[in-house]
Chain A
């Protein structure tokens, strides 16, 4: 028991806090079967079971599978099975969103916030909000850019909503699927300390997309510099959440593969941001009140910034 305790102690940055809070907790957990507590959060004063679950559930991959199986014990064709994916309270969702927008360096989002209670509420509704935010903001931004031109007639561009929905939902579900498959494959070759279930990866991706929502709203501002600064800023924030989550899962692997994996994750994330900016938001023009300024020889008062 002491050896196991030392092993877990070495692996976790915040283990010291938890063990200091509840030194007896680990011994209890090893003897008895652990039942997953329903509402976990980042609170040190909760009784020992949550810390044990965090120590055992997210570090040891075997235990993760076992505990995950214990939790979702209803058969998959019943309604109760899917209810286990929505077992979150309002404050938990808000905490997870806060954790994705303000990533703490060194802290793993999954370990800190999700802790074996991945939910589908966050990913689904954040993606839905993002779809409509991008469509509405793009429409508004195009309206303001082209306002005042005599030939411009406003169109709602409703078709873009379905395109946005397809893109964002595909990204939020297919990329985690591919990543999970890849990590499982590498896990079979190289024993990794940290491994994630599919739902946890979906959860991380879903919550990491949250920072794009205020970014999309701010993209209405029709200045190229502002937009690209926003892209870089939001990419740093959400990218760092993803990197800090997945680096521990691949760092024990071959160096090149680890770097390539993390690089691909970041590249796809950047592609999503840049692609949305390019497709939904027309390029702003350099001179705004173009129709008012009398044009010399009719030539370029308006310069297209392409």
Chain B
């Protein structure tokens, strides 16, 4: 740069200023005192977080709370309760009955892991556990459907009850798929969205099928 050839730095320019290190005015005193707080507070905090996520699932909006603070408590509770409610189905032989507890567990967790891997392999930007969290929490509508089905089956097992169950399970299946798609689809590259949404559809379809075909003794 020709214009700067004759610029020389004077040796006696005073250097002034302030160097201050901002002191964290509110040092997080929670770190120190979560050990001291009563157990009830600790548990209630986690329960509130789980409950808030349940609400987010039932009314899916574009909130990032579900994604940011992931936890797997909710999915575990949902999975265990769904698997427990699917027990007690009738079977002449063990081979012909409904899914066993372990089978439901494996299907839900293994299915969620496979879908997460699939979306990551296709180039998604969501993290592994966030995706597991979303998929697990979105089983909530189907768990509600299972509860309703069991109640309806208490009243009778005829054609009317089947139609009611079909409608309820179908609606909850749609709700689950839409809720999880609302959370997960944004993190995918745009030309591969359908490739990521289809396995989620299949996953909830299989769970809905297990719920719909539950026949009590």
Contact = CB atoms under 8 A, between A and B. Distances in A.
A154 B215 contact: yes
B177 to A, nearest CB: 15
Given A93-B195, A136-B209, A157 B122 contact: no
A8 B215 CA distance: 63
Contact of A155 (B92, B199, B209): B92
A159 B89 contact: no
Contacts of B118: 86, 121, 125
B123 interface: yes
Nearest to A129: B202
Given A85-B121, A128-B202, A132-B206, A158 B103 contact: yes
Contacts of A303: none
A83 interface: yes
Interface string B142-172: 0000000000000000000000000000000
Nearest to A158: B99
Given A89-B192, A93-B195, A128-B202, A153 B90 contact: yes
Contacts of A128: 199, 202
B88 interface: no
B193 interface: yes
Contacts of A15: none
A243 B215 CA distance: 45
Interface residues of B, number: 30
Give chain B's interface secondary structure class.
Answer: helix
Nearest to B96: A155
Contacts of B29: none
Contacts of B99: 156, 158
Give chain A's interface secondary structure class.
Answer: helix
**Most chain A CB within a 10 A radius of its CB, from B99, B121, B214, B215:** B121
Interface in A43-69: none
A156 B89 contact: yes
A156 B215 contact: yes
**Most chain B CB within a 10 A radius of its CB, from A82, A93, A128, A159:** A159
B198 interface: yes
Contact of A158 (B97, B122, B123, B194): B97
B14 to A, nearest CB: 54
B98 A156 contact: yes
A90 interface: yes
B210 interface: yes
Chain A interface category by residue count? 20 to 34
B157 to A, nearest CB: 10
Interface in B178-217: 191-195, 198-199, 202, 205-206, 209-210, 213-215
A91 interface: yes
B121 A155 contact: no
A90 B103 CA distance: 32
A121 B124 CA distance: 14
Contact of B210 (A88, A153, A158): A158
A157 B96 contact: yes
A132 B97 CA distance: 16
Interface in B69-105: 89-92, 95-99, 103
Given A158-B98, A159-B96, A89 B191 contact: yes
A91 B123 CA distance: 16
Contact of B95 (A82, A91, A129, A159): A159
Nearest to B89: A156
Nearest to B92: A155
Contact of B195 (A90, A153, A154, A157): A90
A139 interface: yes
Interface of B: 89-92, 95-99, 103, 118, 120-123, 191-195, 198-199, 202, 205-206, 209-210, 213-215
17 contacts: A83-B121, A85-B121, A89-B191, A90-B191, A90-B194, A90-B195, A125-B118, A125-B202, A129-B202, A132-B209, A155-B97, A156-B98, A156-B210, A156-B214, A157-B96, A158-B103, A159-B95
Given A83-B121, A155-B96, A158-B99, 12 more contacts: A79-B121, A89-B192, A89-B195, A90-B194, A90-B195, A121-B121, A125-B118, A132-B206, A139-B213, A155-B97, A158-B210, A162-B103
Interchain residue pairs A-B with the least CB separation, the first 7: A155-B96, A86-B121, A156-B213, A89-B191, A90-B194, A158-B99, A159-B95
